[in-house]
């Protein structure tokens, strides 16, 4: 008899974690987060300014807390941070059993520094230190954007033993810079006598945004060759990123750190809801199933996975095809590095706009 297992059990056996792409006080207080964790359908959760803005402006869950903070705290940014820190602490506590049972490999909650600091190294480091100290949980990840300045700040945070989720990655070159910063930070931490085994980091690729931009350019080109490449770049980038992950974290530089207890920096697939309704609703889930990865699912994608997901180990399939896809895009004038740079700048701007709206909501 063939054993019947849920998609979530299948993913756990392969070694991929499923994290949620939202966080709200209602979700914590109402027990939904605890239920999903207990059911094995989620082992982590991420946040960003847009998520918190939606949570704070929907319903009355934050009304009393906000009223009290308006009397006690004059700075809207600090009001937001205090509410966010409280939610992240509560979520960390719900996920602590996962963190404990996996010896610190899983069970994390992410909290983002202000996107206004995306190009400010010292400001990012200062904010990361403050938020890390205020949450005061072993299973918190401070989110830092993967801009060139963010990479420098990220390296410093790792050197200080602060666990980090590097966000807004869209290209292989951006990922390479982040992997190098992670290894450099770990080397500095080890040299200073720090415990590298206590540091966790993930590198977050935003999948659907890649295809949304590239598909638009392919439509402008209008050729048959261009049409045949629609909806293919993001998964191709993800597969090649995983190949490089294996090379770097299976190589001698990390090997020396691993001997001291260091953890590899897992790849995390973000923005995994398909924006084009013509595409499979699990386009950014099933082809990217592999060990030592995380997939962060919006609510609708989580439901789709639960309903009809059939995950199996696929991330190593089609590597030559992925390389061919990027080569063909290059020949059409679409440079993956230029795409990544544009998307990162646009992503920072989108988070800045959401952050401005968030601060307006708590003013």
What's the CA gap between 17 and 338, in Å, rounded? 30
- Alpha carbon distances (Å) from 334 to 123, 175, 274, 348: 34, 19, 21, 22
* Structural domains of the chain in order of their starting residue, each with its CATH number: 7-361 (3.20.20.70)
Q: What are the tens digits of pLDDT across the range 165-224?
A: 999 999 999 999 999 999 999 999 999 999 999 999 999 999 999 999 999 999 999 999
CB 228 within 8 A of CB 239: no
Which is catalytic among the residues 54, 70, 96, 143? Answer: 143
| Six token digits for residue 195 | 């415990």
Q: What is the DSSP letter of 197?
A: G
Of 216 and 49, more confident: 216
Q: What are the tens digits of pLDDT across the range 124-170?
A: 999 999 999 999 999 999 999 999 999 999 999 999 999 999 999 99
* Average pLDDT score, the chain: 95
> Which segment of 4-8, 105-109, 193-197, 252-256 scores lowest on mean pLDDT?
4-8
Q: What are the tens digits of pLDDT across the range 64-76?
A: 888 888 898 899 9
pTM over 0.85: yes
The full length of the chain comes to 363
Asked whether residue 1 carries a pLDDT value surpassing 50, the answer given is: no
Question: Can 143 be counted among the known catalytic residues?
Answer: yes
* Three-state DSSP string of 120-167: CHHHHHHHHHHHHHHHCCCCEEEEEECCHHHHHHHHHHHHCCCCEEEE
Give the pLDDT band (50/70/90) at residue 3: low
Average confidence (pLDDT) over 9-25? 95
């Amino acid at each position: 008899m063939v054993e019947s297992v849920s998609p979530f059990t299948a993913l756990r056996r392969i070694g991929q974690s499923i994290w949620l792409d939202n966080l709200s006080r209602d979700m914590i207080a109402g027990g939904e987060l605890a239920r999903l964790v207990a059911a094995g359908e989620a082992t982590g959760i991420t946040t960003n300014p847009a998520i918190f803005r939606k949570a704070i402006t929907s319903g009355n869950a934050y009304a009393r807390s906000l009223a009290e903070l308006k009397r006690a705290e004059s700075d809207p940014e600090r009001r937001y941070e205090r509410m966010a820190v409280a939610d992240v602490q509560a979520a960390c506590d719900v996920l602590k059993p996962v963190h404990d049972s996996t010896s610190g490999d899983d069970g994390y909650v992410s909290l983002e520094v202000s996107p206004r600091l995306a190009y400010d190294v010292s400001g990012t480091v200062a904010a990361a230190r403050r938020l890390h100290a205020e949450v005061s949980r072993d299973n918190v990840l401070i989110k830092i954007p993967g801009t060139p300045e963010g990479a420098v700040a990220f390296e410093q945070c790792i050197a200080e033993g602060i666990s980090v989720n590097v966000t807004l990655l869209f290209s292989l070159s951006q990922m390479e810079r982040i992997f190098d910063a992670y290894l450099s930070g770990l080397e500095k931490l080890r040299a200073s006598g720090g415990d590298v085994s206590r540091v966790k980091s993930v590198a977050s690729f935003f999948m659907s945004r890649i295809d949304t931009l590239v598909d638009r350019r392919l439509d402008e080109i209008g050729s048959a060759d261009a049409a045949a490449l629609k909806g293919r770049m993001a998964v191709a980038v993800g597969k090649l990123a995983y190949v490089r992950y294996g090379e770097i974290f299976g190589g001698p530089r990390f090997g020396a750190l691993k001997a001291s207890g260091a953890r590899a920096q897992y790849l995390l697939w973000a923005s995994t809801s398909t924006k084009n309704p013509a595409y499979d609703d699990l386009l950014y889930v099933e082809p990217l199933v592999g060990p030592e990865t995380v997939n962060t699912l919006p609510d609708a994608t989580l439901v789709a996975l639960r309903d009809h997901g059939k995950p199996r180990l696929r991330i190593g399939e089609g590597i030559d095809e992925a390389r061919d896809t990027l080569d063909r895009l290059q020949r059409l004038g679409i440079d993956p590095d230029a795409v990544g740079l544009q998307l990162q700048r646009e992503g920072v701007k989108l988070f800045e706009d959401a952050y401005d709206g968030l601060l307006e909501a708590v003013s």
